[in-house]
Amino acid sequence: MALGIALYFTIALTAYAVFKGNACAVMIDGEPVAVAADKKSAESILDELVRLKSGQVGMDLTVMEEVSFGRVRVEPEQILGRAALKERLEKRLTFRAKGTAILVNGASKVFLKNEEDAHEVLAWLKTLYPVEEDGQVGFKENVEIEETYAPVGDILEVEAAKKLILTGRQKVQQYTVQEGDTLWDIARAVNIDQDQIVLSNPSLDPDRLSIGQVLNLSKEAPLITVTATRQVTLKEEIPCPVEVKRDKELLMGEEMVVRKGVPGERIVTYRITTENGLEAERKVLEQEILRQPSSRVVARGYLTLASRSGVARLEKPCRGGIVSAFGMRGGRMHEGVDIAAGYGSPVVAAAGGTVGSTGWRGGYGNIIEIRHQGGLVTRYAHLSSINVHSGQQVKRGQLIGRVGATGHATGPHLHFEVIINGRLLNPANYM
């Protein structure tokens, strides 16, 4: 339609060179958009629109586009009446107002009615993160105020401007799922609600994460970062330095404290910088040592798991005799040993390591897997309760759960498995 009007006006304007025009073409940024009876009536309607819009918003408005006029010769039915011309111009024009922009690193981010409103918003931002009298509050970015024109729909009231600066834009980062991760662990590490992670990943099954799976993590990023700097003086412990000695009787990854050591003490003055309330930097300005720490001596194992003839062995995970051995049973492979024990009897870690997966797993019932050094994994099944969580460090002999009869179990007992480099081996050879 616009192309047809433009072509028609081009022909009409050309014809005007030969024949006297009988109407006025109204052009917006050089493009013909309508025909008025004469220039005076077109200008009158334009002025009326500006007054009407200004009254609606309580601000003095102008038109953003360039409006021009030209004489044309057209058929009488092509000339728009006052109401039709007003409606067409209202749809095509953008009304702007003189206001104040808040610029962040040179880019206009927020528009307000006046400079006073802009200063009020920026002053309010600083009050969100108060500091002591000797502290300083400012902005990380280069923040400026500039008088400018903006579309009337972009000019905000003070409260709306505050909300826009705080919520800002959506910042998206990616996270690759690691072994032992749960949705709760990931959400806590990146400070995002679990529900928000699910919303950002529509195909995600929260209960079935896969190692290597890439998750989109979307969180709100404020338009302006408020920095606060303060000095604090604290009395604090100096951690004991750790002296490690190799022990030929411990498994690789296991440790035993030989001497506890005594922490030191110091008085230290820090300059702490926060960004939107979160600590971003802590710099030591001066310190006074009150007491030097003494070393903590730790014996660390380096032996790989040996069979019954070797030195390094696993601790038996619970008291009781083996009632079902490793190997073929009724045409099926029994991949561990069953240790008879009363319901609720303690189950301990066979060696030091990191807890992998925990929870319900089909026929195993409640299960715990612990990852150790040297490709070793131990598995504890049919538990009545679990006392550890994924990612937790455990020591040899530490309580991890209690004997039960969950899953496919005919009575209370512990099903115990030993896996080395992916191969299931007979646990009886290593206890």
Report the pLDDT value the prediction gives residue 303, as an integer from 0 to 100: 60
Cα dist from 61 to 49, 117, 152, 297, whole Å: 10, 18, 8, 77
Instruction: Please write down the long-range contacts of 111-114, taking CB distance under 8 Å and 24 or more positions apart.
Output: 111/148, 111/150, 111/154, 111/155, 111/156, 112/155, 112/156, 112/157, 112/158, 112/161, 113/59, 113/155, 113/157
pLDDT digits (tens, 9 = 90+) for 70-107: 999 999 999 999 999 999 998 999 888 889 999 999 99
| Proportion of the chain above pLDDT 70, given as a percent | 90
Report the pLDDT value the prediction gives residue 306, as an integer from 0 to 100: 54
Reported as half-sphere exposure (CB side, CA atoms, 13 A), residue 57 has a value of 22
- In this structure, of 86-95, 180-189, 233-242, 310-319, the range with the lowest mean pLDDT score is 310-319
Report the pLDDT value the prediction gives residue 20, as an integer from 0 to 100: 61
pLDDT digits (tens, 9 = 90+) for 147-206: 998 888 889 999 999 988 988 866 778 889 887 788 888 888 887 888 878 877 878 887
Residue 12: which pLDDT band, with cuts at 50, 70 and 90? Answer: very low
Task: Answer whether residue 6 shows pLDDT above 90.
Answer: no
- In this structure, of 242-251, 308-317, 397-406, the range with the lowest mean pLDDT score is 308-317
pLDDT digits (tens, 9 = 90+) for 245-288: 887 666 666 677 889 999 999 999 999 999 988 889 999 999 99
Sketch out the chain's domains with CATH numbers: 2-93 (no CATH), 98-167 (no CATH), 169-221 (3.10.350.10), 227-301 (2.20.230.10), 322-429 (2.70.70.10)
Average pLDDT, the chain: 86
Residue 62: which pLDDT band, with cuts at 50, 70 and 90? Answer: confident
